[in-house]
Amino acid sequence: MPSGFMESKCPECGNKNREACNAWAYGSPVKVCKACRAEYLDRRFREVAIDGFDPRSNNVSLYVKGTLFLLALALVCAGLLYFQMGRGYYSTKILIVAIACGLGSVACAVMALRIKLGFQDKANGKFMAESEARLRDPAYVRKLEGFGYKVPEKYKSR
């Protein structure tokens, strides 16, 4: 899974907190400031047991469309390059766009395959288990409710 970093600003002290996250920002939205220890909410993170999964993460046709679209663009650029080379020159910009579209197309195809083959479901299952584990802590549930989350009954009855 591609991953990256997300930065959020502490509302108490203004410290910028940086943390690793997965591509869909699945994880606890409750952040603890590394500088002043204040707790705050970062709504960009999805508590999947409550918020559900990002609909894009299981949308095969979106990625198939992306693959085809980028592939078409790459082919158009390749055609253009071929035409230019026939005339003894080529544009580096078009070459870069062609390569970028080609790589993007492959990335979309990989995502589509991941979903098709069930790898995404497996990854989602892991994120759901982590999310449910957090919600087993009544203190955490109260915290989320304090932040205005609608926590499903099944997590409150414990």
Binding site for Zn ion (CB under 5 A): 10, 12-13, 15, 33, 35-36, 38
33 or 77, CB closer to Zn ion? Answer: 33
Provide, rounded to whole angstroms, the least separation between the CB of residue 146 and Zn ion. Answer: 18
33 or 115, CB closer to Zn ion? Answer: 33
Dist CA 44 CA 29 (whole Å): 7
10 or 98, CB closer to Zn ion? Answer: 10
Provide, rounded to whole angstroms, the least separation between the CB of residue 32 and Zn ion. Answer: 9
Long-range Cβ contacts of 106-113 (<8 Å, 24+ apart) = 108/63, 108/64, 108/66, 108/67, 108/70, 109/63, 109/67, 111/63, 111/66, 112/60, 112/63, 112/64, 112/67
Instruction: Say how far residue 27 (Cα) sits from the centre of its chain.
Output: 11
Dist CA 71 CA 108 (whole Å): 10
88 torsion bin: left (phi>0), alpha (psi -120 to 50), beta (else): left
14 or 125, CB closer to Zn ion? Answer: 14
38 or 133, CB closer to Zn ion? Answer: 38
Provide, rounded to whole angstroms, the least separation between the CB of residue 45 and Zn ion. Answer: 17
CA-based nearest residue to 3, from 16, 19, 15, 17: 19
Provide, rounded to whole angstroms, the least separation between the CB of residue 46 and Zn ion. Answer: 23
Provide, rounded to whole angstroms, the least separation between the CB of residue 66 and Zn ion. Answer: 39
